[in-house]
Amino acid sequence: MKLKVATAVLSASLLASFALKAQEPDWKLSDEEMKKASQIYFDRCAGCHGMLRKGATGPNLEPEKTRKMGTEALKAIIHYGTAGGMPDWGASGELTPEETLLMAKFIQNDPPPPPETSLDKIKATWKLYIPPEKRPTKPMTNRNWKNYMGVVLRDVGKVAIIDGDTKELVNIVNTGFAVHILRMSASGRYMYSIGRDGKVTLIDLWMEKPDVVAEVKTCNDARSVDTSKYKGSKGDFLDKYAVVGCYWPPAIVTLDGQTLEPLKIVSTSSYAYDKPNEFIREARVASIVASHHNPEWVINIKEAGQVWLYDYSDPLNPKIKQLNAERFLHDGGWDSSKRYFLVAANMRNKVVAVDTEEGKVAAIVETGNKPHPGRGANINHPKYGPIWCTGHLGENTIACIGTDPKGHPEYAWKVVKKITLPGDGGGNLFVKTHPDSKYMYADRPLNPDKEAQSKIYVIDKDKLEVVSELKVPEKYLQPRTVNGKEVKPRGPVHLEFNDKGDEVWVAVWGNKLIPSAILVFDDKTLKLKKAIEGDWVRTPTGHFNVLNTQKDIY
């Protein structure tokens, strides 16, 4: 009897063990593996798919969906990328085969709960290196500091300050990881960088050698920073406050503009403006701009499809007008009058024009497949009057929209011209112009074609067509060998003018393992005027001229 029972138990036990093995999913990970994968996900994937994986620019990756696809299919997509915009993480060598497999498994697990924050936690990271009273009272340099160019050295976590007149390196400062943008204070004196890791760095340009005077880690993931730029009947807010837009936790963090002391955190978790109107915990802050006409920031809440007009005049008690706009708001810029803010709703192929004077959405304009304007480019066109242009990630066009309802009502909030870029595919990230230039320039770093990636297109502002290209010397684009491994540098990206508007600067993205270059072209002759080189030039991905950024000239 005893034996019988034992045998029965044995069989059941073995069977159960086999059954368990057969059913055990192949995506189970150890704590150690989960930790490693979480970090990779955060660095590479969360930007498009979200920390909670509900999707935004990239599709939803919740386990309900990914487990149906299975490890092999997911691995293939992570390795090769997709035509829809998913990068080829494996093929490009950014992820090893082991990491690719790890990530294919990771996204079939439930998302680990992302970290939470508080104003106290943010304050604990705040470092004031040089308080305002110990800073210079006038510029301590003879350089033309208003023509400084802040250059983001993305993958090495630094920003270089270059003298735009002499093209000399003035200083390199440590910043947050993968700085997304730089912004200037209203006076131009202070430069703010925002890292992908939420760290804000405050750089004082009046120092003989500009350097970091304060820093604070506002959140775990951020994309935007701006400053208070209003002076008028409602008060003098010049150089007074800064604001950070966080991806995670999704929030707006207001800082003292002189010290970076954290003042206020406001959640942006909210209900979506349109169907299915659900509560979105991860409603992230995409872009922010400061109004010149009001003590107000225009803050774009991506997943909620809302534009928030944020009155900072009483910073601990902010007043926020929440405008319904369009979903998946991303980046944008002012029209030339700085009354209208134009922001891309990229997954809806639209641009939203926000009237900041009347505090309402003036128009929503269909432009093309995934508009990505950066801050866009303003042109005063002989026929259409003031227009604003955006490129697209998903198609080979630049769309220009009339922005002058009073002077040119027939063109207002209409696409007056679609400029075609040569060849197929989109992949444009930035367009740029200057009021004193005849040209608008456009890059194409995300085009799948290597040849197209290497181009900067020159567009005549009157004709609104491509008339030339800037020649990026081949040597910056050639693969090089480092420690026996072939390194393929990425092509040119991001464009910026100098203060006078007679030079256009182009970053050659490169690769962090090898030095790259910042190319300065003559805006009249379109000839390469100067290549700024040096061992320190690693992954330059954006440059911000002090005067143009201060005054929002683009």
Q: Which residues bind a second copy (CB under 8 A)?
A: 3, 5-7, 9-10, 13, 116-120, 249, 251, 265-267, 269-272, 275-279, 281, 309, 311, 314, 316-324, 359-361
State the nearest-atom distance from the C-beta of 286 to a second copy, in Å: 18
In the set 34, 48, 69, 140, the catalytic residue is 48
State the nearest-atom distance from the C-beta of 363 to a second copy, in Å: 15
Residue number with CB closer to a second copy (10 or 19): 10
* Coil, strand or helix at 409: coil
In the set 79, 180, 330, 408, the catalytic residue is 330
Residue number with CB closer to a second copy (22 or 316): 316
Residue number with CB closer to a second copy (270 or 433): 270
CA 214: distance to chain centroid?
Answer: 22
State the nearest-atom distance from the C-beta of 280 to a second copy, in Å: 9
* Coil, strand or helix at 103: helix
Q: Is 45 a catalytic residue?
A: yes
Q: Is 293 a catalytic residue?
A: no
Q: Which residues contact 512 (CB under 8 A, 6 or more apart)?
A: 155, 156, 538, 539
State the nearest-atom distance from the C-beta of 265 to a second copy, in Å: 5
In the set 79, 149, 219, 372, the catalytic residue is 372
Q: Is 408 a catalytic residue?
A: no
State the nearest-atom distance from the C-beta of 347 to a second copy, in Å: 19
State the nearest-atom distance from the C-beta of 9 to a second copy, in Å: 5
Residue number with CB closer to a second copy (118 or 380): 118
The DSSP code for 392 is B
Q: Is 49 a catalytic residue?
A: yes
CB atoms within 10 A of CB 213: 23
Measured between alpha carbons, how far is residue 400 from residues 35, 371, 417, 441 in Å?
45, 11, 5, 13
Does the N-terminal peptide bond of residue 87 adopt cis geometry, omega within 30 degrees of 0? no
Count of CA atoms in the C-beta half-sphere (13 A) of 259 = 13
Residue number with CB closer to a second copy (58 or 249): 249
The DSSP code for 248 is E
Q: Is 330 a catalytic residue?
A: yes
Element (H, E) at 32: helix 31-40
CA separation for the pair 153, 476 (Å, rounded): 16
Type of residue at 218: T
Q: Are strands 148-153 and 158-163 parallel, antiparallel or unpaired?
A: antiparallel
Reading the block at residue 536, the tokens are 């320190």
Residue 295 in contact with residue 235, Cβ under 8 Å?
yes
Residue number with CB closer to a second copy (7 or 39): 7
Residue (of 504, 497, 495) closest to 546 by Cα position: 497
Task: Write down the H helix ranges in 41-141.
Answer: 46-49, 63-69, 71-80, 97-106, 119-124
Residue number with CB closer to a second copy (158 or 281): 281
In the set 86, 140, 292, 293, the catalytic residue is 86
- Bridge partners of 511, per DSSP, are 514
State the nearest-atom distance from the C-beta of 341 to a second copy, in Å: 15
Residues labelled catalytic: 45, 48-49, 86, 330, 372
